[in-house]
Structure 1
């Protein structure tokens, strides 16, 4: 008798009760997926990740007691065998790039109807990266050829690389200043220099570029 295929386990983290219910129902009714957990807070999600990590984390970014981005970062830093998939109302370049830079494998806008949630999760499990088409432009734009990008990377000083690494880990400029025993103004100047050398305008873009080029 053929063995039944293993169902992919899913954890949903969403603070809107109606959306959480709808997503949970979609996963529960799927022949390919199994709902491991559904919760509405950051703290609950952390406990579940530590006890029994799912195959896929379907996560909103705006949570009442934390940020979904930190859950994605936790998965990457602890090398958990869980694939994060963002579903959010935020569709700006900053959020998309920051999520991907922190380890998200896909990003869906809540108003997007081009993907069915089940299909997007299955695509992710099969090795794909489901991204709302209008948001994919943000990612592709960062891969446009930049003739002097790598020359700029070589110009980063050791301290600038160290600060960039700390920024990528989520530390604020004030916290970095205390760690480095430097003034806030000095750290801010270093950060501006990093942005200039990487040809970016935000923290999310800087992290994305640095990881893309294996700088951090």
Structure 2
């Protein structure tokens, strides 16, 4: 079955462009493209998407608020932010809200299909400039105290691989464990760090010096 994609963006031209792009991917289907996220909870329940593409700057309910609302009802549904903004505040707010990835609209044509496949494999797809900004933001990021977080040696290893951009499948191959075991460890990491996404886990792991930028 094709991957079911739900999109929110208030620009009609971009919605049409993305629908055309997705239509060319044989393993993907755009099930709906909405102009706003006011009914996001109902949409998720009724349409049952596999991935959500979310613009940040929308009227009524912006993308960050919409992600927070999604996370209240579904902690694991992949949500990729699709936006023109690459400023620190928008990136940080989106990651902390539980976004799974962050792609700039100017890069959408080249990056969105692979980003969708990446996020479904457990990755955290980001446009390169955004990834660099997140790493630069880490020292000033606000988050819960990580001094007393007790990650196992294996969990630290997996978190370090997430920081390097490894997908769940890549992690499984790298350290020779099953995908189910990877998911088990990552769930424990999220629970211990009180996060809902790989980017947020990496940011808090770096801030708390649980992992290092030196790979």
TM-score tier (shorter):
0.5 to 0.7
TM-superposed deviation, 1:64: 2.1
Number of aligned residues? 153
Residues 65-99 of structure 1: CA distance to partner in whole angstroms, max 9, x if unpaired?
21111111112121255210001011101111111
Secondary structure of the residue aligned to 2:130 is helix
SS in 2 for 1:42: coil
Change (3 A) 1:51 1:142: same
> Compared with structure 1, are the counterparts of its residues 145 and 60 closer, same or farther at alpha carbon in structure 2 (3 Å cutoff)?
closer
Structure-2 separation of matches of 1:52 and 1:117? 21
Match of 1:162 in 2: none
Q: So what's the TM-score if we normalise by structure 1?
A: 0.61
Check if 1:10 corresponds to 2:1. no
Unpaired runs of at least 5, structure 2: 149-199, 209-215
Give the C-alpha shift of residue 140 in structure 1. Answer: 1.3
Structure number with greater Rg is 1
Say whether residues 1:139 and 2:134 are aligned partners: yes
Partner in structure 1 of residue 45 of structure 2? 50
| C-alpha RMSD of the superposition | 3.1
The Cα of 1:29 is off from its aligned counterpart by: 2.1
Q: How many Å separate the matches in 2 of 1:68 and 1:113? A: 17
Equivalent residue number for residue 86 of structure 1: 81
Q: 2 CA distance for matches of 1:51 and 1:14?
A: 19
* Counterpart in the other structure of 1:212: 204
- 1:102-113 pair list within 5 angstroms: 102-112=97-107
**SS of residue paired to 1:111:** helix
Aligned to 2:25, the other structure's residue is in SS state coil
Pairing 1:128–2:123 present:
yes
For residues 56 and 137 of structure 1, the distance between their equivalents in structure 2, rounded to whole angstroms, comes to: 24
Distance 1:119 1:69, change over 3 A: same
Q: Work out the CA distance in 2 between the residues paired with 1:93 and 1:52.
A: 32
Deviation at 1:145, TM superposition (A): 11
Going from structure 1 to structure 2, the CA distance change for 1:113 and 1:15 (only over 3 Å counts) comes to: closer
Structure 1: which 4+ aligned runs deviate by more than 3 Å? Answer: 142-146
1:32 has 2:24 as partner: no
Give the secondary structure class of the aligned counterpart of 2:102.
strand
